[in-house]
Structure 1
Amino acid sequence: MTTKADIDIALTQLQGKSPQEVLTWTLEQLHPHVALASSFGAEDVVLIDMMAKIRPDACVFTLDTGRLPYETYDVLAAIRQKYPQLQIQVMFPQTDTVQQMVQDKGINLFYDSVENRKQCCYIRKVEPLNRALAGLKSWITGLRRDQTTNRADMRVIELDAERSISKINPLIDWTNDQVWEYIHQNGVPYNALHDKNYPSIGCAPCTRAIAPGEDLRAGRWWWEQSNQECGLHVNEQGELVRSKA
C-alpha cells in the first residue's frame, strides 16, 4: 500500500471498523512487515494489549531518546513481562550525533530556540524512527482525532507520503475516556505519570503536568506555546505527513 489508490481501497474496508477489527486486518495483511510505534503512552498500551490478543508475536518498536522519564522505562518493563511474545525493538539515536550536538549547543539546547528543539527531536526521535521504518510496509500509531486540531481530519489509514508506506491509526475515532475505560477493564499496565496529570508523555525535560482545563498536549514543549508536534508525524514544513483526501 504505497499509493493513494491503495489507501482508498483499504479505507473502504476499514472505515467504521473497531480498533480490534482494524488491527486484525492489518496483522493478517502485513505481519511481520508492520509495527506499532510506541512511546508506551495510554493509547499505545491499549493497542499493545489488543495486538497481543490477536497475534502474540506482533511487532512493536519504541524510541529511547536517552532523556525519557524513569516511569516510561517502568512501563516498558511491565509490558515485556505481561506480553512476553511481543517482538519489541528499542531504537536509539546515533551516539556520535548526539555527542556532537550536546558538545556544540549544550545538554538542554531545546529551551534556547525552536530550531534547536527541532534539531534535538530529529536526532533523538525522527532519525531513529526512519531506521525503524526501513523495510516495513506500514506502521501503526496511537493517534486520535481529538488529541490536537492538527489531527482532527485524519483517517484510520493514510499514506505516509514522506516515507511511501501506509500509516494505520486504529484508535482515530476513540475518545480519551474510551482509552482509559479499556485500560482499567483489561488490566493494562500504564505509565504512572498519567496519574499525575501527564496525559501526553515524551522526554522528561520536554514534558510537564497539565492544569485542569488545559489542552491534552499543553504539557509538551510548553515554552513554545503553539507547538504540538515533535516531528514524527510532520514534514519539514510542520504539516502532518499524510495523503491528501
Structure 2
Amino acid sequence: MAAEIISLPQFRFDDRPTLAPGVAAVIERAIIEGTLPDGLKLTEEIICRKTGVSRSPIREALRILERDGLVVREPRRGVRVSKLTVENLDELYACRIVLEVLASELAAVNATVQEMDGIRRTHQRCERLLRTDHMLGHFRANVELSQRIFNAAHNLPLLGLLNSIHKQALRYRFLAYQMSRSARANSVRNNTELVAALAKRDAALAGVKVRQSIELSHEVIRACLMERTKRDGRRIKSG
C-alpha cells in the first residue's frame, strides 16, 4: 500500500536551490525518530503531496537518503525505509567505536574554549531534560552534544565518515531511548565523565570513556531490538 507517509508533516520549501537537501532533512528526521518506521514504502507521489515539491528534487532527496543508508531501493518494489536489524547494529557499532574514540581524543586536544563551553552547556541541557523526562528533547540534545564533540575534533575527513555512520546509528539510539529510561540515564552519566575528561584535555581518558559508553549502549540497544522483534512476532501471531 502507498501507506503511508501519513505521518510526514506538511512542508513548503521556498529556497529552490536547497529543495532536495531540505526534503531529505525532513524525511531523515522522521526516519531517525521513528515517525516513518523501518520497512515503510516511500512513494514520490505522496512525498510530493506532503511537501509541495516536484518529483525531480524528491528523487534527488531519496538518493541522498539511500547514500546515507536510511532507505533502500529494491527492484520492482521501490524505495523503503531501511530495516533495523541486530546484524546491522553490530556492524555500525564496530565502526562507531573506532571513529568516535578518535574524535573524542582529537576534541580533547583541539577544542577551543568556546567549543568546550558549548559542549558543557549542551550536556547540562541533557541533564535537565532527563530530570523532566522529556524523551524527545533529551534525544535531540544528546545528538547535538555528539555533533559538537565531532566538530571540535577539527578533522574534516573524520567528520565526513562520522556523519554517515552517525545518521544510521541514531535510529538505534532513538529506539533505546524510547523503550528504556535507563538508557537515557546511562547516557547522561557516561557523558558527564566524558565532558570532564574533555575539560581536563585528557585525550586518553576521553577515548576510554567513549569506548565504555558505546559498548554499554550497544548492549542496551541490542536487548531493546531483540525485545521489539519478539513483541512484533507475538503481535503478528495474535493478529
What TM-score bracket applies, with the shorter chain setting the length? Answer: under 0.3
Higher helix fraction (1 or 2)? 2
Query: With structure 2 as the length reference, what TM-score do the two structures score?
Result: 0.25
Higher strand fraction (1 or 2)? 1
